[in-house]
Amino acid sequence: MSADIRPIARALLSVSDKTGLVPFAQALAARGIALVSTGGTRKALAEAGLAVADVSDLTGFPEMMDGRVKTLHPGVHGGILAIRDDEGHRASMDAHGILPIDLVVVNLYPFEATVARGAGYDDCVENIDIGGPAMIRAAAKNHADVAVVVDPASYATVLADLEAKGGTTLATRRKLAQLAYARTATYDGAIASWFAEVEAKENAEAAAESRVFGGRLAEALRYGENPHQSAAFYIGGPARPGVATARQLQGKALSYNNLNDTDAAFEAVAEFDPARAPAVVIVKHANPCGVAEGETLVEAYRKALACDPTSAFGGIVALNRTLDAEAARAIVDIFTEVIVAPDATEEAAAIIATKKNLRLLVTGALPDPRGGGRLVKSLTGGFLVQSRDNAVVDDMALKVVTRRAPTEKELADLAFAFRVVKHVKSNAIVYAKDLATVGIGAGQMSRVDSARIAAHKARDAAEAAGHAEPLTRGSVVASDAFFPFADGLITAIEAGATAVIQPGGSIRDADVIAAADAAGIAMVFTGVRHFRH
């Protein structure tokens, strides 16, 4: 046997996630490996007919304090941490009757899942594992002699080594140790973040003294935003329906840009309550290029596509309802990278399957636009952390600031436009009419340029569709932040807008209001800004 291979004589198993546990333990037992376990894990193994010792046989102490104390003992940690080739360590083991433990199989109390289901404070605290992380870290530290498994996905790796080598290789143990420390770091990060959120609810102005973020690899990506950049997709943080929870029904592998754009599209479409109306968002380079509500999904899609059919080519399509066959047929008429929806009918999936490279993702649900959470942006030497922008226009007290109030139809379009502008890169301007975008200006250094670009794109779309006048005629306009001068508003008026929704708050609000009154248009203030950089 090679010098770096370590046989396994005894394994300690203590898991919350029992996926694949019994077959794995049976394979170990078949090789003559002694099994030691705790609590529910021991019960599951015993019920499967396996001979399994209780951890109290190693410690000489029973579980106590409602299971809080059971493995925190030299009889366990000495068996894990002992360096097998160290004479002093072997002497200590002999003197105290400590048996070596060559394999530690532990996954932790389900803290993240407990938080995700909205459990109370005390329940969350009880699901903070102590003994588990201690054993994992001990085994990972002593990976020269001990293998540690923290995920059922690694069972096959251990069994493959046993089959091929008669023990675990150093390369395998190192890899398992890396996974172990990543898991305990992610776990502790989730706990620290939860405590920070608890504190934030009690004191919204206080920032946590330190922050930790972690995740587990979901997929290694071919490259990043550009081919010379490496990239990978990790899953972590609070559970939220979206790309991290989605099932890919078909299509080639998602790229970095696909994932980024799909996330943007699905978060945007979630602003539109499926109980109110079907809605579709088309995204290109993380910006909406068409958004609409309709009587049906296919109507909403066609209205969204009409806003900017050029940009929609090669875009991402997000729907707020189950994808049906009629909408699927319309979407596959042009080249599309990804379709994402809560679900898809069998007929719709079959239609999409005719385009072998088109990715179809189903998420099971929409994310809550009012939901909390944190957004992280990396900077050189650090990162910025902020709460999610969960302000929703339906919850805002709109203030009419012009002599003319908006009509009921204008109000509906204004609310629609403000839902969209929240998801457009700043400086953002959105023209909307009949619950559909007709012009979008994004990411410009000046707001007036965004207004001009949006109007220009609306003229191009009208010309392509054979309309006699720009789609912005009779539209409403939304701005993600206040108009610093009247010029941006005047551009929107010249484009044909009849009503405006904006946060307000500029020192020149009076000038902007006066320009609106002079043109006879309506304007409402939200008091809420939606910058998105």
Q: Which residues are catalytic?
A: 141, 285
Contact status, residue 183 vs residue 108, Cβ threshold 8 Å: yes
Q: Which positions ≥6 away from 496 have C-beta within 8 Å?
A: 469, 470, 472, 473, 474, 475
Q: How far apart (Å, rounded) are the C-alpha atoms in residues 70 and 136? A: 15
Instruction: Specify whether the backbone of 65 is left (phi greater than 0), alpha (psi in -120 to 50) or beta.
Output: left
What kind and span of H or E run contains 25?
helix 21-30
CB burial class (10 A; 0-12, 13-18, 19+) of residue 117?
exposed
Contact status, residue 7 vs residue 166, Cβ threshold 8 Å: yes
Q: How far apart (Å, rounded) are the C-alpha atoms in residues 232 and 343? A: 26
The long-range contacts involving 62-65, CB below 8 angstroms and separated by at least 24 positions, are: 63/38, 63/39
Output the six-digit token pair for 290.
Answer: 């068409």
Contact status, residue 482 vs residue 502, Cβ threshold 8 Å: yes
Question: Within a 10 A sphere around the Cβ of 532, how many other Cβ atoms?
Answer: 17
Q: How many residues appear in the chain?
A: 533
Q: Which positions ≥6 away from 62 have C-beta within 8 Å?
A: 56
* Cα distances (angstroms) measured from residue 302 to each of 308, 353, 423, 435, 439: 11, 21, 20, 12, 15
Output the six-digit token pair for 469.
Answer: 């006048």
Torsion angles phi and psi, residue 376, rounded to 5: -125, 135
Smallest Cα–Cα separation from 351: which of 332, 368, 365? 332
Tell me which DSSP letter residue 232 carries. Answer: E
Q: How far apart (Å, rounded) are the C-alpha atoms in residues 162 and 148? A: 14
Tokens 């289901």 belong to: 117
Sheet holding 499-502, edge to edge: 399-400, 522-525, 499-502, 476-479, 429-432, 437-441
